[in-house]
Amino acid sequence: MKDLINKLSVGFEITDVVYQRKDITFLTVAKEKVIDLITHLRDYEGFSHFVLLSCVDWIEDNIFQLTYFLNNPEKKHDFAIRTNIDRNNPVMTSAHHLWKQIATYQRELKEMYGIDFPGSPRLNENFILEGWDNIPPMRRDFDTKQYAKDTFFPRERPQTNDPTEYMKSKLYPKE
């Protein structure tokens, strides 16, 4: 696999390589090169199976990190293509033309993180949340506990005690 990565790093400007496991390698590339790299891997290197597309919200660095997971069924090897996009203007090139199921992942990311994928089919339809009118719920600046408290009529919970302090006061009240 190292030969392949050396070959790829010339044309696709791979900035970071992490050998996570014997059969998983993480590659970090620029936002513009992702679709080219995935297409190349699919058509010429045998990475024909698309596993998943996920997102991590790094609010401290002001970026969303997208991960495209590809699998080579013959060599039993996984490539995870990582890229960072700006959190204030989250737009990414759509990849639904490569595998059909990417459109569903992109719908989910649009709803949960608010990342826009122009041209992706049925992108603005409701996926899981119906009639959501707040900021996207998987962003880390969304306070889910406060939202649930304000919205869902929480039931009052019984008062809880710290077990050590409580037993001390019960058993040795004078101390």
Partner 1 sequence: MSEENNINKFENPYYKKRIVEGPDGEKFEVDPLKDYFCDEHPKVHKPSKIPVIENFLNWARAESLWVLGFGTGCGSIEIPPLMTPRFDAFRFGVQARPTPRQSNVFIISGYLAIKTLKRVIRSYEQMQNPKYVIALGSCTINGGMYFDSYNTINRLDYYIPVDIYIAGCMPRPEALLAGFNKLKELIKEGKAEKANEYAEKFEWYKANQKKIIKDWNMPDYNW
Torsion of CA 116, 53, 108, 13, to 10 degrees: -10
Using CA atoms, how far apart are residues 67 and 113, in angstroms rounded to an integer?
Answer: 14
Q: Which is nearer to partner 1, 3 or 156 (CB)?
A: 156
Residue 42, judged by CB atoms within 10 A of its CB (0-12, 13-18, 19+), counts as middle
User: Which one, of 43, 48, 40, 54, lies nearest residue 9 by Cα?
Assistant: 40
Total residues contacting partner 1 by CB under 8 A comes to: 22
Out of 133, 141, 162, 175, point to the residue binding partner 1 (CB under 8 A): 133
Phi-psi region at 87: left, alpha or beta (left = phi > 0; alpha = psi -120 to 50): alpha
Question: Binding segment for partner 1 among 9-17, 19-27, 50-58, 139-147 (CB under 8 A)?
Answer: 139-147
CA 163 → CA 47, 70, 85, 172, 175, distances in Å? 55, 49, 47, 14, 16
Smallest distance, partner 1 to C-beta of residue 64, A: 17
Q: Which of 38-46, 60-68, 93-101, 144-152 is the region at the interface with partner 1 (rule: CB under 8 A)?
A: 144-152
141 binds partner 1 per the rule CB under 8 A: no
Of the two residues 76 and 155, which places its CB atom closer to partner 1 in the complex?
155
CB of 122 to partner 1, least distance (A): 11
Residue 12 and residue 33: Cα distance in Å, rounded? Answer: 6
Q: Which of residues 113-132 bind partner 1 (CB under 8 A)?
A: 116, 124, 126, 128-132
Contact 122, 110 (CB under 8 A): no
CB of 138 to partner 1, least distance (A): 9
Q: Tell me: does residue 91 bind partner 1 (CB under 8 A).
A: no
**Contacting residue, 13, 36, 58, 147, with partner 1 by CB under 8 A:** 147
Question: Which chain residues interact with partner 1 by CB under 8 A?
Answer: 116, 124, 126, 128-133, 137, 142, 144-145, 147-149, 151-155, 157
